[in-house]
A and B are shown apart, each in its own frame.
Chain A
Amino acid sequence: MDKLLSLPELRANPFGERMCLIFSSTKDGDCTFEDFLDMMSVFSEAAPKSVKAEYAFRIFDFDGDDYLGRSDLEETITKLVSPQRFSSEDMKALVNRVLEEADLDDDGMLAFAEFEHVISKSPDFANSFRIRL
């Protein structure tokens, strides 16, 4: 996995480790060529939005329970802004706002359907979830 993380495309990415884990067929972060091909094809421009949404969901789902719970969201935000940090009330406020916006059935977590709904409305996602070779 370290070799992968030294590639220019993944080197500066805060979610680089998650990406390696998700796409690796042996689940330990090491990718064969086919896994790498998978990764690049999902991040290419021609990949349909549903595929990207699916893999984005898997990347953000840190504990692997098929839901984006509070801990997942907090972990995402922390990774996104490190080394800066939010105070715990700010973090709580942020997670609350995200859940307010996206959690349609009010169960405290984001299921895939809700996540996909938000992503389809997000104009920046399609442009930024992409690696150009």
Chain B
Amino acid sequence: MGSMSELRPLLREMKAHREDMSGDRNSGCRTSAAMSGSGGRGGSGGRGQKAGSARRGGWEDAGVEFYREAYPTSVDNIYDTRITTLLPSKRHNVNSLGRGTVRRRASQRSRRQPPTTTATLVHTSRRGSDTYLEVLPDLTQGVDEEETWEKLQQIRAHAVPIEEKRKLKQQLQSAPTLRTRGLAAFKLSRRKFFSQTKSRLREMISKIELWHWSLRYVEGNFGTGLVAFFTFIKWLLYLNLFTCVLLGVFILVPQIFLVHSKDSCIVDSWPNSVYDNETFLYENDTNCCTKYYNEIQSNSPKRDNYYLIQLVQDGVQGTGPLELSYLFYGYYPRHILVLEVAPEWKYNLPLAYLLVLVVTLILSLVLMVRAAARGLRESLRSSEGQFYQYCNLIFGGWDYCIENNKAASIKKKAIYNELCNHLETERYNEEKEQRTKKERCRLYMVRLLVNMVVLALLSVSFVAIYKSTIFAFDHLKDAKDSKESEQDKLMILLFEYLPSGVIVTLNIIIPYLLRALVKLEHYTPNSILVLTLIRTVFLRLASLVILLISIYQSIPACPDSKPSECIDECTRPWCWETYVGQQLYKLTILDLIIMFLTTFLVNFPLKCIGHKLMRGSQIGAAIGDIEFAIPKHVLDIVYGQTLCWLGMFYSPLLPAVTCIKLVLVFYIKYFDCKVNSSQSSQLYRTSRSNALFISILLVSFIVTIIPVGYSIAEIKPSLACGPFRGLDTIWSEMLAVIEESPDWLKAVLLFLGTAGFAVPAIIFLILAGYYYYAVAAANKHMVSLLKNQLVLEGHDKQFLLSRLNHMIKMSAEEGGENTSARSSRPVEDETGHSNDQTLEA
């Protein structure tokens, strides 16, 4: 401790190596380190003035310099860099299976000791520019096949060139192994088979990936931020396909292939049928209503002139022949379906309809939460109290997929802008601290004012939508009754599309206003983005909700006079579920048409005018430069998906329609991106974008569950159509089934609905949440403690290294004066151990 004796062996060793230039290469990386790092002792010669005090020797005499050199923060290493290569941490960096195993991680399934002690050791040293390897095979114990196989798999994780990996693999395979027998052999072969199949499957799937080349083009020219958007569309397409398949298999296919008994309508027995016991099969009163409804639909006056236009209109609105088709709820019968050849095989269609829809919604929720959790985990991990803003930008900012020089220069500019932004934000924050009270007050007043204006705008738009819907509905009723003249037909068309038109107009105007307003509020660019997004989402979703409310208003519960009165005086559609389905179907098609029109008839001409006709001028650039604003397009997609979820219950084929629509939308947006848009100057971070898209989707999903759930549970289904006619609510179907199930099942299910289950469950969830929060807080505290400790250790290390350097120099000078006998002690070469020995001797 503090004496020269410890350092003497070290010094001797260094001298010996200096003399022994052509030393054997077997001595581990220390040798090469010392040899190739011998850029002379010039590096350490800069402290000549300390030589005087060094002569005196000993720690006590260092005095003032002791403290002056204690905490170096400048780059100049004041210790000889050769010394640093002797540190255990540096040795660990360069040995034993690459850098990763500092953590002494055992192989995943090993039941034996960790492989580092028995495995082959690979040393790589990168001093200077040399790379050489030393491999020490360990043949002390026979290794069995499983371990060999595991090591072979892990070779991939080494960061060495392919040749070395090949050598390593050869070595592992040629080393003598014990054969495994029996059950272990079987398990091993199964594992091998699985992993091979998995990798082959992955390769095959990647070859048949949908839209591979289009995505590659976008990636090469616009960066991965934009690709995230198109990948989102693809993911939604898969989700919708999955929903489609479920609905098709359980609702559509039975309906097509199985048969059911006919509805019989016996007019005379109306008064008695109320007491009919067979709740499923024959309900005469509603049968008559159905019959009447079907007759009305099929006998509606055919307008033979303008047949094609009529067809197109019906196709878009879902009226006419489409109304009584598989597309809408109204067509599905309230019967138990049976197989024609084997009448004992029954299929309860109403129950299936209800259950399949509920299950589909739950499965969609699960899939979305899984996808969102993946993104959330990443963003949480990166911000457990601290987000590495600058490091993330500098080290992870360059997108290696970019192939286009122009795109590269734009990306560079974007990175430059973002870095400048960050620096500015910091300066701005510093300034903000020093803002006077008056200025702060003013800013808050402005913000409050802007928020109120935004609220006012939003409420005005909501009222406008509501009023227009009610207006249209009322006038439609009047106009339909007197449809004679051509003018009336035009009015009918106008009224049909009035609510949708109002929504679309508002969706175009309001975001502009919001963007202009948010500039007044002086937020950071991040906050601006999030705030604008939230407000626009509000607008879009709320307009949908208002539409739903207005539809709900137009199906008032008529006073039930008699249950058999389906022909009543209320002015509501015969089959309100089909009506709702039709509205949503219409909105979907309209959405698609508008996207098409905007891209081809608005953006494309603008670009042509701006870039071709008025080339070079300022105005031309201003008109023609359209940026592909991702948030706006994401909201379009999410809106379409919301319509699909809302309408799924009332129109089982709507997911299929949405699938086709998504394919078309992909190509429309791709054209928009490729041809119309110029490069965006904003940096889109993929990770954040993904999490953002899916969380917006989740929010809209939750918003759609509420109306659908309410309509299932509370609203009386219409008498004339659908699988649930005649019941009080749709949910009572489920209740009836529960009633008829075995007792124990009934008891369990009913118990789940009572308060005795709900309250303890809620309490338990709250406690679990609190526990996890406490654990997380404790971990955070631990992390900050460890960080502080690390800094102190770092300072210690530097201090000690500088003293060591000092000592070595002193003793070297002393040793140079007295040429005493140097015993060239043979150096031991147990790699990894001799070092510690030397330092502890």
Contact = CB atoms under 8 A, between A and B. Distances in A.
Interface of A: 8-9, 11-15, 23, 25, 27, 34-35, 37-38, 41-43, 48, 50-51, 54-56, 60, 64-66, 69-71, 73, 76-77, 80-84, 86, 90, 93-94, 97-98, 101-102, 104-109, 112-113, 115-116, 118-119, 121-125, 127-132
The winner among A109, A115, A119, A127 for most chain B CB atoms within 10 A is A127
Nearest to B404: A12
A124 B413 CA distance: 18
A54 B159 contact: yes
Given A38-B162, A80-B412, A119 B395 contact: yes
Contact of A128 (B162, B224, B420): B224
22 contacts: A11-B403, A11-B405, A15-B398, A51-B156, A64-B126, A80-B397, A84-B412, A90-B420, A94-B390, A94-B394, A101-B388, A101-B389, A101-B390, A104-B791, A104-B794, A116-B99, A121-B382, A121-B388, A123-B685, A123-B688, A128-B401, A128-B686
B157 A37 contact: no
The winner among B126, B158, B412 for most chain A CB atoms within 10 A is B412
Nearest to A120: B381
Contact of A43 (B381, B388, B400, B402): B400
Contact of B392 (A11, A73, A81, A123): A123
A94 B404 CA distance: 28
Nearest to B154: A48
The winner among B129, B392, B795 for most chain A CB atoms within 10 A is B392
Given A35-B161, A54-B159, A124-B687, A109 B75 contact: yes
A84 B162 CA distance: 38
B583 to A, nearest CB: 40
Nearest to A100: B390
A51 to B, nearest CB: 5
Given A12-B405, A70-B75, A104-B790, A131 B400 contact: yes
Contacts of A93: 423
Interface in B73-100: 73-75, 81, 89-90, 93, 98-100
Given A94-B394, A128-B686, 15 more contacts: A12-B402, A34-B161, A50-B98, A54-B159, A55-B159, A66-B93, A80-B398, A81-B412, A97-B390, A113-B93, A118-B395, A123-B688, A128-B224, A128-B400, A130-B400
B10 to A, nearest CB: 21
B216 interface: yes
A101 B415 CA distance: 19
Given A93-B423, A130-B400, A106 B415 contact: no
A101 B391 contact: yes
B791 A128 contact: no
A94 B685 contact: no
Contacts of B391: 98, 101-102, 118, 122
Contacts of A116: 99
A118 B388 contact: yes
A14 B423 contact: no
A106 B794 contact: yes
A108 B75 contact: yes
Contacts of A86: 419
A124 B335 CA distance: 55
The winner among B74, B403, B413, B793 for most chain A CB atoms within 10 A is B403
Contacts of A56: 395
A81 B398 contact: no
A12 B404 CA distance: 6
A104 B787 contact: yes
Given A25-B161, A66-B126, A124-B392, A106 B795 contact: yes
B396 A129 contact: yes
Given A105-B793, A128-B396, A112 B403 contact: no
B381 to A, nearest CB: 6
Contacts of B791: 104-106
A132 B390 contact: no
B835 to A, nearest CB: 17
A90 B423 contact: yes
A8 B407 CA distance: 12
Contacts, number: 185
A13 B397 contact: no
Contact of B396 (A42, A54, A73, A124): A124
B388 A81 contact: no
B73 A108 contact: yes
Question: What are the 3 tightest A-B residue pairs by CB atom distance, in nearest-first order?
Answer: A105-B794, A12-B408, A123-B687
A130 B401 CA distance: 6
B219 A132 contact: yes
A81 to B, nearest CB: 4
Nearest to B685: A124
B569 interface: no
Nearest to B408: A12
B411 to A, nearest CB: 9
A113 B378 CA distance: 20
Given A121-B381, A125-B396, A128-B224, A12 B163 contact: no
The B interface, classified by DSSP as helix, strand, loop or mixed, is helix
B178 to A, nearest CB: 29
A34 to B, nearest CB: 5
A66 B158 CA distance: 17
Nearest to A123: B687
Contacts of A51: 156-159
Contacts of B405: 11-12
B798 interface: yes
A107 B790 CA distance: 11
A121 B400 CA distance: 19
A53 B819 CA distance: 49
B330 to A, nearest CB: 47
A12 B423 contact: no
Nearest to A16: B400
A123 B161 contact: no
Contacts of B686: 124, 127-128
A127 B687 contact: yes
B489 interface: no
Contact of A54 (B73, B98, B216, B688): B98
B394 to A, nearest CB: 6
Nearest to A130: B400
B399 A27 contact: no
A132 B219 CA distance: 9
B773 interface: no
Nearest to B199: A46
B519 interface: no
A104 B794 CA distance: 8
A34 B163 contact: yes
B291 interface: no
B159 A122 contact: no
B444 interface: no
A124 B397 contact: yes
A83 B411 CA distance: 12
B379 interface: yes
Nearest to B166: A34
Contacts of B416: 81, 84
A70 B77 CA distance: 13
Nearest to A77: B394
A56 B102 CA distance: 19
Contacts of A106: 73, 791, 794-795
A23 B73 CA distance: 33
B74 A108 contact: yes
Given A80-B412, A122-B382, A50 B400 contact: no
Given A80-B394, A81-B412, A124-B392, A50 B159 contact: yes
Nearest to B794: A105
Nearest to A7: B403
